[in-house]
């Protein structure tokens, strides 16, 4: 099995699914949820006695974690990872409801892009030597929603697969395993659907990521 197989298998699960809860709320992260929703409730603890936390997650969650990315809509840049928070939120909102139709990764100066069906794109690449993960894709597994697969593309150009499984004997104990895989040929392109707005999905080059900030009001 190669990193190519891992990525294709993971993202095939969301082919044709629109993203929801597209967010740009933490650091440089962009987060997209896909599939059935699940409410996770955390009961009060000793540290937080009077607060019960609740959140809604998709069965599949894509999180772009790269320090450097650029978001586009219909060919025009909407925000950079360094843009003001309001601009990042607006860029995420523009991608809300769009379907992921293609993605690319490359290992030399690790980076790539995500392409959406209504003209949205996010191009990313490694920026700093201390970066570890450029993006991660979480899959909540049935029938036990606490079981999860996490596929990550690392700044070193490797594909990392992290598995979390409950044991047969005790569901509250988990077996964790992380395995790294290589990308054959140093690059991978995965097509999940039709080209955006009926047009041609052209890959973005390094210059698309490294150009100066767009004009965002």
Residue 20 region by backbone torsions, left for phi larger than 0, else alpha for psi between -120 and 50, else beta: beta
Mean pLDDT value across residues 167-189: 78
Q: Where are the beta strands (DSSP E) in the chain?
A: 20-23, 30-42, 53-64, 68-73, 76-80, 100-106, 111-116, 120-125, 133-140, 148-154, 159-166, 174-181, 187-191
* Mean pLDDT on 145-153: 85
**Is the model's pLDDT at 38 over the cut of 80?**
yes
SS3 of 54, please?
A: strand
CA dist., res. 159 & res. 101, Å (int)? 20
Nearest to residue 125, comparing CAs of 88, 150, 155, 160?
155
**Across residues 75-101, what is the average pLDDT?**
97
- Categorize the per-residue pLDDT at 171 as very low, low, confident or very high, splitting at 50, 70 and 90: low
């Amino acid at each position: 099995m190669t990193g190519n197989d891992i990525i294709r298998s993971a993202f095939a699960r969301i082919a044709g699914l629109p993203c929801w809860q597209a967010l740009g709320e933490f650091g440089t992260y962009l987060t997209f949820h896909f599939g059935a929703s699940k409410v996770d409730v955390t009961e009060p603890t000793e540290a937080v006695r009077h607060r019960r936390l609740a959140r809604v997650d998709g069965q599949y969650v894509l999180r772009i974690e790269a320090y450097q990315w650029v978001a586009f809509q219909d060919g025009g840049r909407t925000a950079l990872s360094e843009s003001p928070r309001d601009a990042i939120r607006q860029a995420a909102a523009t991608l809300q409801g769009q379907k992921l139709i293609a993605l690319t990764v490359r290992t030399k100066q690790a980076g790539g892009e995500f392409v959406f069906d209504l003209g949205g794109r996010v191009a990313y690449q490694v920026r700093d030597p201390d970066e570890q993960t450029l993006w991660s894709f979480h899959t909540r597994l049935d029938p036990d929603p606490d079981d999860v697969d996490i596929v990550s593309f690392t700044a070193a150009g490797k594909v990392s697969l992290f598995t979390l499984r409950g044991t047969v004997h005790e569901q509250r104990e988990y077996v964790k395993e992380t395995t790294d895989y290589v990308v054959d040929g140093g690059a991978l392109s995965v097509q999940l659907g039709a080209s955006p707005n009926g047009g041609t999905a052209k890959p973005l080059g390094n210059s698309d990521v490294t150009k100066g900030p767009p004009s965002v009001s």
